Amino acid sequence: MASGKRVLPAIALALLLASASGAEEEADSLIISKPVFKVSQEITRVVSGGSYIKDDGLDDAWIEPTMGSVNFQALKNSRLGLEVMLSAVYFAAPYHYDQPQNYTRNMSFSAPRLDASYLFGDLEHPFLKVDVGIFNYKYNENSRDLGEYMFRTWAYPGIIATGGTYAYLGANGATLTGLKLGQSLGMFSHEFLATLETDLTPVYDLNLTYMAKANLKNVVKIGGGVQVARALRADGDKETAMKYFTQNGVAYGDAPGYYKSLENGINAKLAATGASHEDSARLNGELARAMTASAVLDSVSTGQINPDMKTITTMAIKPMLWFSFDPKPLFASEIFGAKDLVLYGEAALLGAKNYPVFYDEIARRIPFMVGFNFPAFKLLDVLSFEVEYYRSRMVPSFRPNQPNASPTPVVTDSYYPADWDKDNLKWSVSAERTLVRGVSLAAQVASDHSRSWDWNNYGKTPWEIYTTPSQYYWGLRLAISI
């Protein structure tokens, strides 16, 4: 972890030196903008969800966080900037168990933005902009809920996150910690980011990302990037790895719980009525293979066989592409709003390398989404519909309470891979309207990758709430900015 923690101090020193050189060019002036205060109230109703991951589920739960923030900005020497945002959330747990905190309102304080920036070159058209600290990052301006895969996913086992820790609406970007270098060259712009993982365990791993975008007269925007995810492990040991091996020409993952769960899942299928002769024969073949795998792993644990172990780590290469198409600049019309008629989409590969047993099909590691902003004719600021398709058959959960979680997939007590085709489809409908200046109302109905909040799991629960398209929530948010 020490190696990852050295990154920010070194960057801060570089910016300090750059600031000193800039002070020689201009007067040592300091401009502080007026603070912006924002208060919002969200009311979200979980209509149905959670029963496939957590037995008691979250059906009919209410999630009602009250949020407030204050944002400060300062500029020195016209080059060195600082943005600070302090926020607080007033909330209650959406479900109850034997912890007294869940029966009372609670407060959470954070600093979601501590961003120092520096401009190199001409101030009107800087050659380079450097940001360091904690900052918000969003590369597809149109996505309202789904997408933004580069910084909201974890390859191996292929986890996607939407929503925030305490709220769902408006959480359509990522909060990053680290360094960003940005350069704009007319219609083309690109960025390099070195950031520390702070949302999904193992935390403080180093991610290296390159992003690029081309803007063709605001009609077509095409972007993409590639990330070396978890390029450097913060803990520096091998506990974040998973072993696999080949015995007699067959690959096995060193995950005994997986095969036992698979046996239970196959037996449940065999016990179900209505299975055809062909289905029963196929299932019995799968059961025999799962039982053989369990026996082979038992032989490894007792030392009867000593195969050549290979390693799967949390490190991954994640390519991503996105686009948007806005036809409005091609014709003159005053009836459409600024965001109307925009078609957009995104796809990512959550781990470019295949591994035996668990990660041997690239097509099951590619989520893609498409969205469209329907014409609202200025009655609404935006009215969007988004749909996502992701063929992963992994249980949509990661291992909680493990600072050095491994790429071993999570399984339930009884797991059958094809059962998890039920969560391939996600959808979201979002609307927003500015009522008067500084006051907005947003609404969202969705079946997405949102998680809930849990005292035991340091914020977000590891399990997704919505695991079929028929499980969904609706939410409203009133926000006031001064």
Res 481 pLDDT > 90: yes
| pLDDT of amino acid 313 | 85
Instruction: Could you list the beta-strand ranges (E) of 364-472.
Output: 368-373, 382-389, 425-436, 439-447, 451-454, 459-464
Res 463 pLDDT > 80: yes
Q: Shortest CA distance to 459 belongs to which of 404, 407, 401, 409? A: 401
Instruction: Determine the average pLDDT of the residues in 9-20.
Output: 48
| pLDDT of amino acid 365 | 96
Instruction: Determine the average pLDDT of the residues in 289-313.
Output: 92
Every domain of the chain and the residues it spans: 2-237+313-407+416-481, 242-310
User: Does the model's pTM come out above 0.95?
Assistant: no
Tell me, rounded to whole angstroms, the distance of Cα 227 from its chain centroid. Answer: 14
137 phi and psi angles, rounded to 5 deg: -135, 125
Tell me, rounded to whole angstroms, the distance of Cα 141 from its chain centroid. Answer: 16
Pair 50, 67: CB distance under 8 Å: no
| pLDDT of amino acid 165 | 78
User: pLDDT tier at 5 (50, 70, 90 boundaries)?
Assistant: very low
Q: How far apart are CA 1 and CA 197, in angstroms?
A: 12
Q: How far apart are CA 89 and CA 93, in angstroms?
A: 12
Pair 161, 199: CB distance under 8 Å: yes
Comparing 191-205, 221-235, 338-352, 388-402, which segment has the lowest mean pLDDT?
388-402
| pLDDT of amino acid 404 | 61
Q: How far apart are CA 265 and CA 305, in angstroms?
A: 27
Burial of 108 from C-beta contacts in 10 A (0-12 / 13-18 / 19+): middle
Q: How many CB atoms lie within 10 A of CB 350?
A: 27
Pair 209, 150: CB distance under 8 Å: yes
Pair 138, 145: CB distance under 8 Å: no
| Helix, strand or coil, per DSSP, at residue 127 | coil
| pLDDT of amino acid 276 | 84
- Three state DSSP letters for 15-38: HHHHHHHHHHHCCCCEEECCCEEE
Supply the angle between the helices 256-271 and 277-301 in degrees, to the nearest 10.
Answer: 160
pLDDT tens-digit series, residues 157-202: 899 999 887 888 988 999 999 999 999 998 999 999 999 988 777 7
Res 56 pLDDT > 60: no
Question: What whole-number percentage of the chain has pLDDT above 70?
Answer: 88
Query: H-helix or E-strand containing 113?
Result: strand 106-120
Q: How far apart are CA 121 and CA 119, in angstroms?
A: 7
Query: H-helix or E-strand containing 62?
Result: strand 62-63
CATH class of the region 2-237+313-407+416-481: mainly beta
| pLDDT of amino acid 412 | 82
Compute the mean pLDDT over every residue in the chain, rounded to the nearest whole number: 87
Of the two residues 23 and 342, the one the predictor is more confident about is: 342
C-alpha distances in Å from residue 212, one per residue of 22, 187, 224, 226: 28, 11, 6, 9
Pair 466, 180: CB distance under 8 Å: no
Pair 254, 242: CB distance under 8 Å: yes
Instruction: Determine the average pLDDT of the residues in 277-281.
Output: 89
Res 470 pLDDT > 70: yes
| pLDDT of amino acid 41 | 95
Instruction: Determine the average pLDDT of the residues in 228-232.
Output: 92
Pair 323, 222: CB distance under 8 Å: yes
Of the two residues 422 and 98, the one the predictor is more confident about is: 422
Structure tokens at 461: 């629960």
Q: Shortest CA distance to 262 belongs to which of 295, 289, 301? A: 289
My answer on whether omega of the bond before 469 falls inside 30° of 0, hence cis, is no
Pair 214, 224: CB distance under 8 Å: no
| Helix, strand or coil, per DSSP, at residue 417 | helix
Query: H-helix or E-strand containing 347?
Result: strand 343-348
Q: Give the DSSP letter of residue 198.
A: -
pLDDT tens-digit series, residues 429-461: 999 999 999 999 999 999 999 987 766 655 677
pLDDT tens-digit series, residues 366-412: 999 999 999 999 999 999 999 999 999 998 887 655 556 778 888 88
Res 11 pLDDT > 70: no
Angle at 282 between CA 279 and CA 284, to 5 degrees: 105
| pLDDT of amino acid 107 | 84
Q: Shortest CA distance to 163 belongs to which of 471, 450, 385? A: 450
User: pLDDT tier at 125 (50, 70, 90 boundaries)?
Assistant: confident
